Structure 1
Amino acid sequence: MKLKLTLLFSLVLTTTLLKAQDSLMIRKIYDEELVNGQCYGNLHYLCKNIGQRISGSANAQKAIVWGEKLMKSYGFDTVFLQPVMVPHWVRGAKEEGVIIQGKNRVPVHIAALGMTVATPKNGLTAAIIEVHSLKQLDTLGEKAIKGKIVFFNRPFDPRFIETIQAYGTAGDQRFAGPAAAAKYGAVGVIVRSLTESLDIYPHTGATLYVKDGVNIPAAAISTIDANKLSSMLKGSASIKFYFKQNCQTLPDAPSFNVIGEMKGTEHPNSFIIVGGHLDSWDLAEGAHDDGTGIMQSVEVLRILKVMGYKPKNSIRAVFFINEENGDRGGDKYAELAAQNKEEHIAAIETDLGGFTPRGFGFDGVSATTLQNINNNWGKLLAPYGSNVLVAGGGGSDIGPLKEKSKQVVLIGYLPDSQRYFDVHHTPNDVFENVNKRELELGAASMAALIYLIDQHGF
């Protein structure tokens, strides 16, 4: 009995000491970032000296060269590029959109959807029909749709607390709507921008065409103009719509993922990665989507490096290319990881903006493990506001790892989501809309979680 009590006391003491050690380390991580953080300055350079970084563009290549140089300047153990062939879509001259009601012509704000085709050289004019779902196309059928422009006007559902869920339920009209409308003979598509904000800024984003299907031009319209168009359609059946866009898809272009690594001292072929996507849409600077994510990712390694931390497992920061219109970077990373027989323990994706950190979502852990994560790490992260640790996580760049490595835990960084879709895929996604302290807190929270995973596993 005395031996059992002694062992129990020893276990409790060891656990207490470990938690105290973890708490001290996490405090040091935050102190380093909040006093000496560099991700905000790096983001400024990326946005102002390079700017938009659509896949296949000269600016994307500039960002790759700069990202590799930045990682090397921090003295990581290894910095390397992974070659990837990416789509090369070009927007061309600024789009034009007009509502036509008799002699009345009302200009509206539109932006071509990514990967869409151009209109005819002189633009496209046709009667327009409003729908609110893809299913409604099936109900209306070819007789009602053929020869018309389909106007998808389903707004965000405001009842979702997390705006990413509203984006998920509205997004099919953008990425699948044009292909679905083309099956019924539509000649073009206009999609309500994916945001709850009422403003004049159209939100671009990729659309997907069906192989061997008819490709029709598609554009996003600002929410204020979508409401205007809907109101005019209710008042008159004689509304037509004109739009002109000049985009084209060029041959695939060579590009790269950018990777920096701290080598593990005990398990060098076991990896914990943190990353975001280097490419961005072409309407602005790609500040929140996803400049903040890649700058936070490299900052995680910088923090640990400057603190002299020696990881048990290898830790990587990854700048994935081509998330916005192809996911080629994530696919290539997973493919090469499998070829090289790399064991991935965990992968964190940060692609929801650089807002105030709330926590993390986990995919690939049991309910019991998630409860243990909350019990053991929740109190450590609570003082920093990053202790929302919930089921469901990941991201499109790290998702392919799950197919290649069943044991990997996919983790999505969860910042406050209320403002993200105000700027997402718009001309407003600029450096000035990023808050320095929020960005730094996010970088520190990811560094803290990676430290805990590296020390304790799941």
Structure 2
Amino acid sequence: MKKPILALIACCIAQLSWAQQEDSLTIRRFADEVLTNGTAYENLRVLTKTIGGRLAGSPQMVKAEKWGEAALKAAGADNVYFQECKVPHWVRGEKEQARIISMRRDFVPPLNILALGNSVGTGTKGVTAPVIEVRSFEELEQKKDQVKGKIVFYNYPFNKKFIKTFYAYGDAVRFRGQGPSRASKYGALAVIVRSMSHSTDNNPHTGSTRYNDSFPKIAAVAIGLKDAEVLSKRIANDPGMKVFLRTTCQMLPDTIGHNVIGELRGSEFPNEYITVGGHLDSWDVCEGAHDDGTGCVQSIEILRSFKATGIRPKRTIRVVLFANEENGLRGGAKYAEEAKAKNEKHIFALESDAGGFTPRGFTTSMEPDKLRKVQGWSGLFLPYGIYDFSEPGGGADITPIHNQLGTPMAELSPDSQRYFDIHHAVSDNFEAVNKRELDLGAIGMGALVYLIDKYGL
């Protein structure tokens, strides 16, 4: 296979202009450094295996911030500092419990659930109530007179027809975010939400919910997909059954967190900034490898490899390990707030927060002329399997700076087929990350940063 690959690279280079051929060689030198001497995978191992889940407000959050500082210094950053921000402090409490209660004598194992982030608990005694199943908000409205005193079960599956699985997530996630308050409006005692996944296992997938303060806050949990089917069939065949549900989560007062920032100082325009990063926090039930340890270590690797290969940027490259993306987005908001207050000039922002799988392209949000310029470089990315610049988008942490300063933004777009198998679930661990895929993502990100730094937008 080696000769065909070399032939493809040679063909791609031959079709480029002289300037692009020079850029191609620079990117190749950077790629070789990442592939042969890269530290991203080892950095990820340390982050996930020695710290683990890093939910905002937790002791692991503090440990992760110190890890980020050390990793950026080791990568050769010219300047490393913390940017303070207030973050929410939600705690899960004791292990969640859910089981079917029935007059039948058959045994049904406990249901596999996780409390949704930012949700309230049921109290130590739990809640026991009949369950009403709905598959849409329209159905909830139709059955609103039946909801009072019951547990609402949102059983809305991922749409399997979407090839790009983020569309399925975007379609279904409204039940996690809005579901508890919309059920509470009609007197529900709690909600159970089908996990945001199309996996074949039974792991529940957590994630944050958002309460509408106009209605009482009620307990909310996600349920594994196999148990979602068990519960659905039981509701249909056992009208008298109930579910016992117990969670002890609670929201504590806000605490202090930090964005961890490392800079590679620009040689010509040091007061112009290119931001590249991922979010350092993760859910507490997993190691947060793909979400978003990979984005953090890929960003650090860009800085390290630029230094190692002698790529001296014109503009200041800022690697930002954002705080509190998962249940508050406080880090991204703070970064934009300070940039605006200081009247900083931000040329571009790039994030990796869609997993560390094989890179396919970038989603972008920028003016058409700028996007055409980026698409004009597409030939430089083809040797690394990156070809898709067609989709709109951008990372959650950099959206505030895009909205407030008008900064063009992009997000690495890896192959998404496996992402929602593990997203926000116990299976998001170090072992789920492939080193080659992780490194290729860093190469794609680094190439885009290099080109925008050199030519601007």
Report if TM-score (shorter chain) is over 0.5.
yes
Aligned partner of residue 129 in structure 2, secondary structure:
strand
* Residue identity opposite 1:97 in structure 2: A
2:275 & 2:83 partners in 1: Cα distance?
Answer: 15
Structure 1: distance between partners of 2:45 and 2:350: 23
The corresponding residue for 1:438 is 437
2:426 maps to what in 1?
A: 427
Do the aligned partners of 1:118 and 1:246 also contact (CA within 8 Å) in 2? Answer: yes
SS in 2 for 1:250: strand
Which residue identity is paired with 2:400? P
In structure 2, the residue matched to 1:357 is 359
- 1:387 alignment partner in structure 2: 387
Spell out the pairing of 1:205-220 with structure 2 (5 A cutoff): 205-220=207-222
**Alpha-carbon shift at residue 369 of structure 1 (Å):** 3.9
Q: Does 1:139 align with 2:142?
A: yes
1:196 corresponding residue in structure 2 = 198
Q: Out of 219, 244, 247, which is 1:245 matched to?
A: 247
CA distance in 2 between counterparts of 1:75 and 1:277 reads: 20
Structure 2 equivalent of residue 115 of structure 1: 118
Q: How does 1:35-434 map to 2 (within 5 A)?
A: 35-103=36-104, 104=106, 106=108, 107-141=110-144, 143-366=145-368, 368-374=369-375, 376-406=376-406, 408-434=407-433
Residue 8 of structure 2 aligns with which residue?
A: none
Asked if structure 2 preserves the Cα contact closer than 8 Å seen for 1:88 and 1:250, the reply is yes
- Alpha-carbon shift at residue 433 of structure 1 (Å): 0.8
- The one-letter amino acid paired with 2:427 is N
Instruction: Quote how far apart the aligned CAs of 1:134 are.
Output: 2.0
Q: For the residues of structure 1 that align with 2:138 and 2:341, how far apart are their CA atoms?
A: 42
Contact conserved, 2:75 with 2:301, CA < 8 A, in 1? no
- Percent of aligned pairs with the same amino acid: 50
Deviations 1:364-389 (A, max 9, x none): 121x5434432x21111001011211
> In 2, distance between residues paired with 1:363 and 1:41?
32
AA of the residue aligned to 1:72: K
SS at match of 2:128: strand
Amino acid at match of 1:293: G
Amino acid paired to 1:328: R
Q: Deviations over 1:400-436 (max 9, x none)?
A: 0122212x11101100000001111011111011101
3-state DSSP of counterpart to 2:90: strand
Which residue identity does 2:65 align to in structure 1? I
Contact 1:127 1:239 in 2 (8 A): yes
Contact 2:164 2:416 in 1 (8 A): yes
- For residue 426 of structure 1, give the secondary structure of its aligned residue in structure 2: coil
TM-score (norm 1): 0.94
Shift of 1:352: 0.8
- Distance in 1 (alpha carbons) for counterparts of 2:153 and 2:214: 23
Give the alignment's TM-score, normalised by structure 2. Answer: 0.94
Deviation at 1:120, TM superposition (A): 2.3
Name the aligned partner's letter for residue 397 of structure 2: D
- Per-residue CA deviations over 1:1-34 (Å, capped at 9, x if unaligned) read xxxxxxxxxxxxxx83211110101111110000
- Judge conservation of contact 1:99–1:105 (CA < 8 Å) in 2: no
CA distance in 2, matches of 1:373, 1:248: 46
The one-letter code of the counterpart of 2:443 is A
2:24 aligned residue: 23
2:327 partner SS: coil
Note the C-alpha offset of 1:105: 5.1
Kindly state the Cα deviation for residue 212 of structure 1 after the two structures are TM-superposed. Answer: 4.2
Partner residue in 2 for 1:447? 446
Residue by residue over 1:164-197, the C-alpha shift from the partner in whole angstroms, topping out at 9 and shown as x without a partner, is 1100000000011001110010000000011011
Once residues 387 and 133 of structure 2 are traced to their aligned partners in structure 1, the CA distance between those partners, rounded to angstroms, is 43
* Aligned residues of 2:75 and 2:300 also touching (Cα < 8 A): no
Match of 2:404, as an amino acid?
Answer: K
Structure 1: which amino acid aligns with 2:374? Answer: I
CA drift at 1:73:
2.1
Structure 1 counterpart SS, 2:42: helix
The 1:145/1:137 distance shift into structure 2, 3 A limit, reads same
Q: Partners of 1:140 and 1:395 in 2: how far apart?
A: 37
RMSD: 1.3
* 3-state SS of paired residue (1:224): helix
Q: Distance in 1 between matches of 2:270 and 2:213?
A: 42
Counterpart-to-counterpart distance in 2, 1:372 and 1:65: 38
Question: Once the 2 structures are TM-superposed, how far is the Cα of residue 210 of structure 1 from its aligned partner?
Answer: 1.2
Deviates more, 1:300-309 or 1:149-158: 300-309
